[in-house]
Amino acid sequence: MSQLETAMGMTIAVFDKYAKTDGNRQTLTKAELKTLLEKELPNFLSSGKDKDAIDKVFKNLDENSDSQVDFKEFVIFVAALTCCCHKYFEQKAAK
């Protein structure tokens, strides 16, 4: 597989790994999302001092307000976070 295909497969695998915890493989609960963020993006959470960060992230991701994050909502989050990281590293490289 190409690097991009591998990355796509990894994104799917990470979502599935945490979504299945409560038995519903189609969505992440707030608790599942919290565990995913703590395990898969530890630097994302540790850099912030906001104690309500998980609640804010979850509320922003839950686009349809069903108290769950589906795969589409999750992928949009990963893509947006990736864009921010890309921009950050571009700016850092320009210095």
Predicted TM-score (pTM) above 0.75: yes
- 16-49 pLDDT per residue, tens: 999 999 888 999 998 999 899 889 988 876 655 5
Among 5-9, 57-61, 64-68, which range has the highest average pLDDT? 5-9
What is the rounded distance in angstroms from the CA atom of residue 49 to the CA atom of residue 82? 21
Q: What is the pLDDT of residue 68?
A: 93
What is the rounded distance in angstroms from the CA atom of residue 80 to the CA atom of residue 89? 14
Q: Is 32 helix (H, G, I), strand (E, B) or coil?
A: helix
